[in-house]
Amino acid sequence: MFAGQPIPPGRRDSGARERGKKRKPNATGKKKASSIYEAQKLASYTFTPFSLEANLVEQLPVVPERESGSQTDAFIVRKSTNQKGATADGAFQRPKVGVDSSTQVPKSMSPVAVKLLHGFSTNALGWHLGCMQIEDSDKLFNFDVEVRPLLDVLVSKTIAQALAEVMEEQEMMNIQKEHELLLAQKEDTARADRELEAKAKEAYRVKAEAKQANELKRQRHKVMTEKMLAWQFAHRTLVPQAIEDATAFLEKTGVFYNPLHRELSNWLSEDVYEGADSKPSFSTVMWLNCILHICIARS
């Protein structure tokens, strides 16, 4: 063999092969058949998640967030800061609007204004004159000019509200009366319906009784007519025929007989029998005479 040429696989080379080692089977042979006891490999159905945000989810702009506070935030207890008007203790309080100012009622105010203010404060808003201080130097407003329209509006609104409440009460009373009247009408209607139903039942009962009485009367008349017809037929046809048949049978058997008829029949029967016997004998003699006369004439 030349150097560099491979050795054929079918040729043995005892020098290159170590002793004691088995020869590997040829790779070109057929595959070994799979056994029925071996588990078959199945396709994997494991779900592999993948992100959909890039194409299917709307991309919103990212808003930067940051926290801000002060040095006293650690000492404040806040229960709820989401609601508008919430306080540190969690109680609701309306937000403050306006400006604080001290007022004092001047002594130069007219009595009418003081009286109106007193009535307005005690009845409408619960204000007290002692807590009001209006200074002349403040020049906040003219009480007689600016408060009277407010009082007029307040009085008008109060009177209108009172009138509305009175009208509402009157309307409720009217509704209650209408309701009671409607209930009374319904009760009257139900009573009238019950009376009509009772009258209808009574009329039906009377009609049924009259119908039953007429049916009973008709049945009695029918039975009476049948009895009368049977009586007439029996007395006019059957009874005379039966009497005649019975009399004839009794007369035939000799139970019933007429003595005169019996005597006459006995007397006449003897004559009839005797005449009947003499008549055939006379006719016989006459026939014999005729025969003799004919014979003599021929001879």
What does the alpha-carbon distance between residue 2 and residue 15 come to, in Å, rounded to a whole number? 17
3-state secondary structure of 86: strand
Paired tokens of 110: 């007219």
**DSSP code at position 28:** T
Query: Interior CA angle at 207 toward 203 and 212, to 5°?
Result: 150
Q: What pLDDT was estimated at residue 125?
A: 41
What does the alpha-carbon distance between residue 75 and residue 78 come to, in Å, rounded to a whole number? 10
Instruction: Give strand pairing partners of 86.
Output: 92
What does the alpha-carbon distance between residue 152 and residue 203 come to, in Å, rounded to a whole number? 74
Q: What pLDDT was estimated at residue 7?
A: 53
Paired tokens of 289: 């005479």
CB atoms within 10 A of CB 44: 6
Q: Is the pTM of this model over 0.85?
A: no
Q: What pLDDT was estimated at residue 203?
A: 94
Per-residue pLDDT of the chain (299 residues; tens, 9 = 90+): 444 555 555 555 445 455 555 555 555 555 566 666 676 666 666 777 777 777 777 778 888 887 777 777 666 665 554 555 555 455 555 555 655 555 454 444 545 455 544 444 444 444 444 445 666 666 666 777 777 888 888 999 999 999 999 999 999 999 999 999 999 999 999 999 999 999 999 999 999 999 999 999 999 999 999 998 888 888 888 888 888 888 888 878 877 777 777 777 777 777 666 666 666 666 777 777 788 778 888 77
Q: What stretches of 132-235 show up as alpha helix (H) in DSSP?
A: 143-233
Return the sign of the alpha-carbon dihedral for residues 207, 213, 217, 222.
Answer: positive
Instruction: Please list, residue by residue across 113-136, b when 16 or more beta carbons sit within 10 angstroms of its beta carbon and e when fewer do.
Output: beebbeebeeeeeeeeeeeeebee
DSSP assignment of 90-127:
S-B-PPP-S-----B--TTS-HHHHHHHHHIIIIII--
